[in-house]
Structure 1
Amino acid sequence: MKAAVVTTWGEAPRHTDAAEPVAGRGEEVVEVLASAVSPRVRSQAAGSHYTSTDELPLIPGIDGVGKLANGKLIYFLLPDTNKGAMAERTAVDMRRTVPLPRGADAVKIAALMNPAMASWVALRQRITFRRGQSVLILGATGNAGRAAIQVAKRLGASQIVAVGRGADSMNDLTRLGATRVIELAGDPGEVKRNLAGAGESVDVVVDLVWGEPTRDALHAIIPNRASDEQELTWIQIGSVAGLESPIPSAALRAVNLQIIGSGQGSVPHHRYRREIGVLAKEILKGTFDDSGKAEEVALKDVETAWADTSSTKRLVIVNP
């Protein structure tokens, strides 16, 4: 079969021959219809993600939409493996799949599930989020950030502060549900004042960036809380700005701050599967609007598309 194959860490995958997948116990081989290129997939292909198996050659891709031998459609999540989703076929653990209705839009599901899943699971499983609470999203201009705005709105957030870089890409964040937008690329003093004002009574921070932006946001927000006793839950989800971030020790003592992480390993398997099933239904009924943000790319063109990092659209690798 053909697949996108990484033979050197950090280089774009090439469209080439690969061994046919073999189904193990509890698995089935599926025809892959669509699989998205997310930051998580790019870090997988670079060998830099904490789940990397350090095995080459590698077929990237952590999830997608597939067709079973009986013609039924499924959304699937793969375990940490070097035999990923960006291939004509892959083997999936049926315990890590959810059924999709006949005629479901495979590209839409592939494009939206992974970015929306991060904040959806975090707000529904890692904390007890209550309608009316306020949310600040750090890293709101990426695919996961845009999805997080809509997830917070769907779950009943009263205020949604979208923080990120790129004024052009932030113009429509209010349309998605943001009640306030803060541009990080402005004057540092003004940015700090804006973060301090927005964070003085926020309940939850969804952090998709980590690194220096998190350090700066903590320094701006913590000394300016309206009430030190009001709980502030900081959920670490992504690390596109850095794998490490210095946390001021005083922040953990001066206010009621709780820092937690959210990912597949932090939620029991059966609950995670239940959440992706609910999320798939929300996507298919049109809860999330990301019109024009997905770009279909044929598997055979993966190398060229992968190397072009200028586009803000989410690449979805498809098998025609």
Structure 2
Amino acid sequence: MNAAVVHAFDAPPRYTTFADPVAGDGDVIVKVAAAGLHPIVRALANGTHYGSSGELSFIPGVDGAGRLEDGTRVYFGTTKPRYGTFAEKAAAAKWMCIPLPDGLDEVTAAGIANPGMSSWAALKARAKFTAGESVLILGATGIAGKLSVQIAKRLGARRVIAAGRNPQSLDALKALGADAVISLTQERDALVSAFRTEIAENGVDVVLDYLWGQPAEAVLAAIAQKGLKHATSRIRFIQVGNTAAPTISLPAATLRSSGIELLGSGFGSASMDEILQAVREFFQVAAKTPFQASIKTIALRDVESVWNNPERDARIVFQP
């Protein structure tokens, strides 16, 4: 079959031929219609993700949408060694195949599942979010961030604060449900002050962090309190991505002086059952009332030429 294949961690995948996948016990073969190029796919392809085995060669891609042999339309994930979803066919465990609801096409499902699941699972499975709480989103101008603004509102958030760098995108987020926006281009002291004011005046129950690095440090500094006479409020800080930096500096006093709870959300911290349940729920909501998400389709044969030139304002979806 034709597929995108990673032969080296420091080079883009090449479009070439690869042996067809073989279905094992409990597996099904899916004819792939669409597969999204997510940050996790890039990280696994260049060997930097914690889930990378370090083995070559392999087909990248962690999820996709397509059809089973009986014509059933499904969204699916794959964990078969060396066989990802950037190919004409993929093998998937039956339990990892989710029938697509009417009203949701394969390209849209492949484009929104991963970024949408990231905030849906983070809020429901990890933060145990309840309607009426307030959510601060770090990195709200990215594809996942824009969806998270909409998802938080759909789940009943009392207030959504969107933080990002792109001023045009920040303004546009107000139309998607953001009640307030904070620019991350401010000087550190001004940024910490802006976060501290929001926390003090309106309250923040959950932080969804797609950035880590300096933006996360600024929020944590804003949460930290001085003095020995103050009441602390519970804030669940959910770490989802690290596009700003892989590490932070965290003073011990920040944890002791506040009600902060640091949690991660991703493969490993959330169970596969929780992740698949998040996708099912997200799809049902998306099928009834579509989310606004920018998706760009590209033929899989062009994977090498576009790999190092990613779309910043759209999620790329490859079609075999």
Pairwise CA distance, 1:198? 1.8
AA paired with 2:300? L
How do 1:283-298 residues align onto structure 2 when only pairs under 5 Å count? 283-290=286-293, 293-298=294-299
Q: CA RMSD in A?
A: 1.9
Q: Please report the TM-score for the alignment, with normalisation by the length of structure 1.
A: 0.93
AA paired with 2:278? E
Kept in 2, the 8 Å contact 1:140–1:164? The answer is: yes
Kept in 2, the 8 Å contact 1:112–1:283? The answer is: no
Corresponding residue for residue 223 of structure 2: 221
1:112-136, Cα deviation, whole Å (9 max, x unpaired): 1110101101111113212111110
Kept in 2, the 8 Å contact 1:52–1:80? The answer is: no
Is 1:210 the counterpart of 2:183? The answer is no
**For residues 290 and 186 of structure 2, what CA distance do their matches in structure 1 show?**
32
1:205-242, Cα deviation, whole Å (9 max, x unpaired): 01111122211221133238996421011011111122
Is 1:58 the counterpart of 2:58? The answer is yes
Q: Provide closer, same or farther for how the CA distance between residues 121 and 196 of structure 1 changes in structure 2, counting only shifts above 3 A.
A: same
Aligned length: 317
1:247-305, Cα deviation, whole Å (9 max, x unpaired): 22111110111111112322333333222211111122224212xx1100011111112
Secondary structure at the aligned position of 1:95 is classed as: helix
Pairwise CA distance, 1:85? 0.5
Kept in 2, the 8 Å contact 1:195–1:220? The answer is: yes
Kept in 1, the 8 Å contact 2:101–2:283? The answer is: no
Is 1:264 the counterpart of 2:264? The answer is no
Percent identity over the alignment is 38
How do 1:12-161 residues align onto structure 2 when only pairs under 5 Å count? 12-79=12-79, 81-101=81-101, 104-161=104-161
Pairwise CA distance, 1:181? 0.7
AA paired with 2:214? E
Kept in 2, the 8 Å contact 1:136–1:199? The answer is: no
**For residues 237 and 277 of structure 1, what CA distance do their matches in structure 2 show?**
20
Secondary structure at the aligned position of 1:264 is classed as: coil
AA paired with 1:268? S
Consecutive aligned runs of 4 or more in structure 1 exceeding 4 Å deviation: 224-227
Q: Please report the TM-score for the alignment, with normalisation by the length of structure 2.
A: 0.93
Corresponding residue for residue 162 of structure 1: 162
Q: Provide closer, same or farther for how the CA distance between residues 176 and 167 of structure 1 changes in structure 2, counting only shifts above 3 A.
A: same
Pairwise CA distance, 1:310? 5.3
Corresponding residue for residue 4 of structure 2: 4
**For residues 213 and 291 of structure 2, what CA distance do their matches in structure 1 show?**
28
**For residues 303 and 114 of structure 1, what CA distance do their matches in structure 2 show?**
22
1:172-223, Cα deviation, whole Å (9 max, x unpaired): 1111111111111133332222122123321110111112221122113323
**For residues 152 and 248 of structure 1, what CA distance do their matches in structure 2 show?**
30
Q: What stretches of structure 1 of length at least 5 have no aligned partner?
A: none
Pairwise CA distance, 1:313? 1.3
